[in-house]
Structure 1
Amino acid sequence: MWKIEGKNTKKIMITGSSGQLGSALKFLNNNYLLAPLDKSQLDVVNKEKVFRTVKQIKPDYIIHTAAYTKVDESEIYIKKAIQVNCIGTENIALACKKFNAVMVYISTDYIFDGKKGMPYTEQDMPSPVNIYGYTKFIGEQIVRSVLNKYIVVRSSWLYGGQGKSFVNTILELAKKNSEIRVVDDQIGCPTYVMDLAEAIFQLIKAEVYGVYHASNSGYCSWYQFAREILKCTGNKDTLLIPVTSKELNRLARRPANSSLINTKGVYQLREWKDALYEYIQRHTAVNENIMFNI
């Protein structure tokens, strides 16, 4: 059974609450009445369970963070990606419509093809290049076709919550390897989930609707991101080797430059390096041997 906590009169249901963003939303809280549900409590693909749960909770908002986010695996398990990211999203949207809740749909920079050569705005036309991005874009279209009141939040390169992230992966690899190969021809915006969670709560508080971009300011390549991670932990021993996407040979194609920019105001997230340093300071312990406790 879910646990509802908080003091604010608005009630917010969170799907996928055990993921990176879901866990950050629970941590921040902002004194809303929160009903966080993980996959074991709510399988969004199960329409009957979704309707029954929403009817029982009666939320004012549903923040839909539940998603199939395994980019490469989506190329193989296409049906799974469609079920969770499209059918699951439709179930939540229909439940929002039936029970008069505002839906906050979390989308991704991977809905863009990366060919623009500069940051994408909310007005740019999506053109995904992989199955994951395609299913998330279909999710956006479903939300916009079903609901009049919705918030689509596109973000990118998340780290900082529960579960696997690029930051933790680099730190773990640095403990075991003298060299790390990192792709250097994919550009994006690293985003600290605590900052993203705060932006989502600001949008809810402002009672605004539509499509918003929410990533930390600035952009970099994965290689530059990894270099900054090691720099802020004081690691001067691990050698980073830049490689191309072609050399890496991942199953799913990635956009070359999927960086985002927020043009609508309401909030402005801080520079990505500042957010990264705060995360490292909060969540790592460094001893004289440069050992990291993640």
Structure 2
Amino acid sequence: MKILVTGYTGQLGYDVVREGLDRGLDMVGVGSKDLNITDESSVYQYVQEVNPDAIIHCAAYTAVDKAEDDRESCWKVNVEGTKYLTNAAKKINAKFMYISTDYVFDGMGETPFIETDNPNPIGYYGRTKYEAEKVVESLLSEAFIVRISWVFGINGNNFVKTMLRLSETCNELDVVGDQIGSPTNTYDLSRLLLDMIQTDKFGVYHATNEGYCSWAEFAKEIFLLADRPVKVNSITTEEYPTRAIRPKNSRLSKQKLIDNGFKPLPYWQESLKQYLNALKHEVK
């Protein structure tokens, strides 16, 4: 099976390609320097030349705060880019998987969101990701839409790496404690996505590591496992103002994965431990 992966230079795309190669699949990873997904003709030409059996679309404009002011760029990448890739997949009859986000929801309440809950994004980034979901559903009768959250991977920057870097110069940190979600290791996620793309179990899914925590609890676990003596002060969202409003409840139900025969991902604490170990041995 030949699989084209966009966003190869990002956290998830990098791990999807690496996992696919380990499985002996024919993987083609492409980053923004090699393909401008906002250029319609370039997208069609590239996809036709590669002629994959499936496309896993990980590329996205993910600068959540910057998106509030740089709306045009965010829309072009997340909505128009997704539209061009979806149409290109349709032309060659390739399976299509779109990677979405917990930010399509408003974060109200305390119960996990299920796949059929109505999205109601509260920030511009979330809005573009939801609009892209609608584009995929309008153009393809069968596709995968996979909503993920709080990812961390070997390649690129993330919360874990930021906390480890700050721990080198700080012995006390204020971290938001009223936003709840599931930290998700892109290594685990990539394995699931490749399992999914090789089936015909199309639809909207939520895919994260098991268990929930706040960012403050996440930070505490990072410092505990990494043996860093840093005190974490749990603060409110209001005490840490950002340009974009973030959802307080990012809990996602993964029951649909189980119902469709996919194995749940490990608990986030276990996966974090493995990630920190991998980080020590990674030669970049």
TM-score (structure 2 length as normaliser): 0.95
Q: Secondary structure at the match of 2:187?
A: helix
Once the two structures are TM-superposed, the CA of residue 34 in structure 1 deviates from its matched residue by 0.7
Counterpart of 1:240 (choices 232, 250, 255) is: 232
| 1:74-89 matched pairs, under 5 angstroms | 74-89=67-82
Distance across 2 between alignment mates of 1:217 and 1:94: 34
Unaligned runs of 5+ in 2: none
2:4 pairs, out of 13, 16, 21, with: 13
| In 1, Cα distance between equivalents of 2:154 and 2:251 | 21
Q: Which residue does the alignment assign to 2:42? A: 49
Shift of 1:207: 2.4
Alpha-carbon distance in structure 2 between the residues aligned to 1:62 and 1:204: 9
The letter for the 2-side match of 1:283 is L
How much is the aligned-residue C-alpha RMSD, in angstroms?
Answer: 1.4
| 1:161 corresponding residue in structure 2 | 154
Instruction: Give the CA deviation at 1:267.
Output: 2.4
Matches for 1:118-267 after TM superposition, within 5 Å = 118-235=111-228, 237-264=229-256, 265=258, 266-267=262-263
Q: Size of the alignment, in residue pairs?
A: 278
Measure, in 2, the Cα distance between the counterparts of 1:171 and 1:137.
Answer: 32
**How far is 1:26 from its partner?**
1.6
Match of 2:276 in 1: 280
Task: Write the distance in 2 (CA, Å) between the matches of 1:195 and 1:71.
Answer: 24
Aligned identity (percent) is: 38
In 2, Cα distance between equivalents of 1:82 and 1:253: 18
C-alpha distance in structure 1 between counterparts of 2:144 and 2:71, whole Å = 26
Distance in 2, Cα, partners of 1:200 & 1:80: 27
Equivalents in 1 of 2:40, 2:119: separation in Å? 28
Structure 1 stretches of 4+ with a deviation exceeding 6 A read none
SS in 2 for 1:206: coil
- Please tell me whether the aligned partners of residues 154 and 279 of structure 2 are also in contact (alpha carbons under 8 angstroms): no
1:280 Cα deviation from its structure 2 partner: 0.8
Structure 2 partner of 1:61: 54
